[in-house]
Every structure is written in structure tokens, then in C-alpha cells.
């Protein structure tokens, strides 16, 4: 089922590629994308009641003087499923000393990115997290930013042609990356201290892998989730299990983003079945880091509490 799904995504991307700016990553990659997406706008938007949008405070994503700053460490780990050495970036807050245990947020990128997209393409997760820590708004956590393209050649050059590799990332994530993080960092190892969220293709991965592994993740977030997002009935075959085991299902998408239908179909299913679920419509924004930074800012404040 997974391979069929990601093959379909690849077909959607290929069909709409001519509508893209040359060398323009389709589902994320750091550059703003406006509304439509040409021939592949995702699923048709479902009529739902959105949750209230509250603007983030001015400067939430700007570096501040006079506060403690965390660090970002590039790690390498052996991937059993891919059969190669892979890389990820890890944000460690200033309070991390290797003694106290922290929660872990796995933060995923889009189809045009890699382990550097959040850091280098406009996401500034380290700055957002530093500011949240300084204001006492987040629980203790580290943020792991992996390469979600589970292939031996996992460079950005794979672009749209690497869609299928994103569908295989759960094997690498669950089988190799999480064990590496839990062995080499002072973190909790239970699902109640593990969260997953991402932008665009990474948002779809987060919903698929998070809701598909309720024994591993208690908190799940999707920011402008792409068409790789499974349909709601596939994501949630057991409504009562999700109600019992998921602690947070949180989504945001730009109101001018042609991919908003991928989020509204899940929101509608959850509302119909009494599953707690948040979906925020970011006013007048497209597929870009304005929305994704807002997503991280809000999601980070809700987890591990």
C-alpha cells in the first residue's frame, strides 16, 4: 500500500512539474510557493470548521540578544534499512548538559530539502526554540532534523524523483535513527516524550508515520501536508485507539495553499468521529516558511506537557 501511495504522489508531481519554476522543489525546499501548484493541488478542500488563528508575537523568529543560545550538532548514524551512513542535525537547548533527560521532537523537511532545510532555508528552528526557552514556553526537548529521503543517494538533487524514498523513511527512523538518538543523547525513551512533525512532504510523513505508530509517537503535527498524506480512513482505522493513545494531533496550512485539502480531509474525519484535532488556516498564505515557522512555534509549546 505504501509503495502504491508514493508512486501516486510521484505521478502527481510529474504531471504538474511543467507548472513549476525551473529547478523549483515541489513540496518544500525553502522557497515560497504561492497558492495553486499548477496541476497537482492535492485533494479537494473539505468544508470544515477551522480552529482559531492567533498571530505569533512579533520577533518570535528573530535572534535576540541577552538570552541563552542552544547549539546545533550534525550527527552521523548507520542506517540498517538504507545500508549506508546517514546524517541529521540535532538542536540542543542551552540547558542540555547530558544529565537531565529531555523529550525528542523529530522535525521533517519537504521533498526539495534535506537535513539542512529547516536550518538554512528560512526555518530558523534554533532561533525559535531559543526564544521559546527564554520565555519559559516549552518543556525540555531536543529537536532532531533528519534527512527524510531514505536512499543511498539522499541529496537534494533527487528532488521530485525521490518521492518513493520518503515513503521508506519510517524504517530508517524507527529502526536506526531513534535508537541512535536514545543511545547517544540524554533523552526519554517512551512514546509520551516523543513527537513528530514536518513541513509539506515531511508533514505527510509525520501524519503517516506518527498515526501509524501510536506506540512510538504521542504527538503528531503536519504543516502544509503534501499529497503523500494518506486518506483519513487509512490513517485512522481504529478511532478508539487514536482517542486513547494520541495526545496531540495538530495541523496548519496556508489559506492560499492548493494543498490545504490534504489537511481538511483529515480534520473532517476527526470531527465526525470525535477525535481531538486542531487545524489552523493561516490567512492568505501559500506554501512557505511563514506558515511552517508558525507551525513549529505553536506545536513546540503544546508537546511534552
pLDDT surpassing 60 at residue 237: yes
**What value does the mean pLDDT take over residues 267-283?**
98
Q: Which three cell numbers stand for residue 24?
A: 523549483
Which of 26-30, 225-229, 282-286 shows the lowest mean pLDDT across its residues? 26-30
Give the distance, in angstroms, between the CA of residue 188 and the centroid of all CA atoms in the same chain.
20
Phi, psi (rounded to 5 degrees) for 11: -65, -40
Q: How far is CA 96 from CA 75, 134, 177, 231, in A?
A: 16, 14, 20, 39
What is this structure's pTM? 0.89
Phi, psi (rounded to 5 degrees) for 213: -140, 65
Residue 5 contacts residue 148 (beta carbons within 8 Å):
no
160 DSSP assignment: G
Residue 17 confidence (pLDDT): 29
pLDDT surpassing 90 at residue 85: yes
Q: Give the whole-number percent of the chain exceeding pLDDT 90.
A: 82
Going by pLDDT thresholds of 50, 70 and 90, the confidence category of residue 109 is very high
Topology of the domain comprising 2-302: Rossmann fold (3.40.50)
Where are the chain's structural domains?
2-302
- The chain-wide mean pLDDT, for the chain, equals 88
d(CA 137, CA 159): 36
Nearest CA to 132 out of 54, 206, 59, 51 is that of 59
pLDDT surpassing 50 at residue 161: yes
Amino acid at each position: 500500500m505504501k509503495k502504491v501511495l508514493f508512486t501516486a504522489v510521484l505521478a502527481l508531481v510529474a504531471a504538474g512539474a511543467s507548472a513549476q519554476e525551473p529547478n523549483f522543489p515541489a513540496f518544500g525546499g525553502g522557497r515560497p510557493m504561492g497558492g495553486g501548484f499548477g496541476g497537482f493541488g492535492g485533494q479537494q478542500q473539505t468544508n470544515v470548521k477551522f480552529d482559531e488563528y492567533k498571530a505569533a508575537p512579533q520577533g518570535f523568529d528573530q535572534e535576540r540578544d541577552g538570552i541563552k543560545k542552544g547549539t546545533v550538532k550534525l550527527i552521523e548514524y548507520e542506517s540498517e534499512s538504507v545500508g549506508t551512513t546517514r546524517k541529521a542535525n540535532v538542536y540542543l537547548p542551552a540547558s542540555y548538559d547530558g544529565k537531565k533527560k529531555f523529550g525528542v521532537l523529530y522535525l521533517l523537511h519537504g521533498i526539495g530539502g534535506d537535513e539542512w532545510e529547516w536550518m538554512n532555508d528560512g526555518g530558523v528552528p534554533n532561533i525559535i526554540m531559543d526564544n521559546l526557552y527564554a520565555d519559559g514556553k516549552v518543556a525540555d526537548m531536543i529537536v532532531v532534523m533528519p534527512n527524510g529521503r531514505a536512499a543511498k543517494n539522499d541529496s537534494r538533487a533527487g528532488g521530485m524523483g525521490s518521492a518513493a524514498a520518503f515513503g521508506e523513511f519510517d524504517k530508517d527512523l524507527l529502526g536506526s535513527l531513534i535508537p541512535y538518538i536514545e543511545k547517544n543523547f540524554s533523552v526519554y525513551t517512551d512514546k509520551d516524550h516523543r513527537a513528530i512533525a514536518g513541513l509539506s512532504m515531511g508533514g505527510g510523513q509525520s501524519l503517516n508515520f506518527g498515526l501509524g505508530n501510536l506506540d512510538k509517537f504521542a504527538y503528531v503535527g503536519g504543516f502544509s501536508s503534501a499529497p503523500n498524506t494518506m486518506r483519513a480512513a487509512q490513517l485512522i482505522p481504529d478511532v478508539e485507539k487514536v482517542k486513547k493513545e494520541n495526545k496531540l494531533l495538530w495541523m496548519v496550512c496556508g489559506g492560499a495553499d492548493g494543498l490545504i485539502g490534504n489537511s481538511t480531509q483529515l480534520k473532517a474525519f476527526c470531527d465526525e468521529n470525535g477525535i481531538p484535532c486542531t487545524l489552523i488556516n493561516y490567512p492568505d498564505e501559500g506554501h512557505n516558511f511563514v506558515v511552517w515557522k508558525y507551525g513549529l512555534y505553536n506545536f513546540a509549546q503544546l508537546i511534552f506537557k
